[in-house]
Amino acid sequence: MNTRTTEGFDQKAASWDDDPVRVKLARDISHSILRDIPLTPDMDVMDFGCGTGLIALQLSPWVRSVVGYDSSRGMLDVFKKKIFQQNRIGVEARFLDKEKNIGIIGQYHLIISSMTLHHVKDIKALLDQFYTALQPSGCLCIADLEVEDGKFHDNNEGIFHYGFDKNILSGILRKAGYLVSGSVTPAEVVKMGKDGIERSFSIFLLTAHKHKK
């Protein structure tokens, strides 16, 4: 995400959770992960692009730890406030400082990226980082938009991909060393566009595992 996009998220952070569609989407994705991925009390989880922690906080009771990464300080401030108010032990919010090249630290049994990948220009480089950060046979869950025509966002600044073709994304994952294990559609998002037309957007959840290269 570029600097302007990060500033946009900073400005929206305080009211981010006021959108019921956004909250429901996070809940639907979380429920799908809880249903399909066997979480255990000895697992360490990373939520990349965690925002205000909508997914991280829903998964945290089932695992040992959840670390959320984001490049928006505003989002992380909201997330940290929730962690404190809810007294969530084992939950941490970390700043992803791209200017100083301070990235992902640690090893994780599960990595989640929800509605973040379309903001990332070099997907292969990010998947390689995830691969390094995953424990042997660790799991990667990517939730994002099915291919769309650029109508999902009101402003497409900082949007590098208008959704994804799951077959193409699966091929990129395989080339990066992953075993793609499944794909579901946990949610549909209905949004009113600037043109006054209501549209439905499908959200996929793609699951892959680290495979020894």
Total length of the chain: 213
Task: Tell me what the pLDDT averaged over the chain comes to.
Answer: 90
Listed residue (115, 165, 107) closest to 131, CA to CA: 107
pTM of the complete model = 0.91
pLDDT attached to residue 100: 55
Listed residue (191, 169, 186) closest to 178, CA to CA: 169
Domain ranges of the chain: 3-210
The CATH classification number of 3-210 equals 3.40.50.150
pLDDT attached to residue 3: 36
Per residue in 114-142, pLDDT (tens digit) is 999 998 989 999 999 999 999 998 999 99
Q: What percent of the chain has pLDDT over 70?
A: 93
Token pair 């639907």 is found at 28
Question: What b/e string do you get for 165-179 counting C-beta neighbours within 10 Å, with b at 16 or more?
Answer: ebeebbeebeebebe
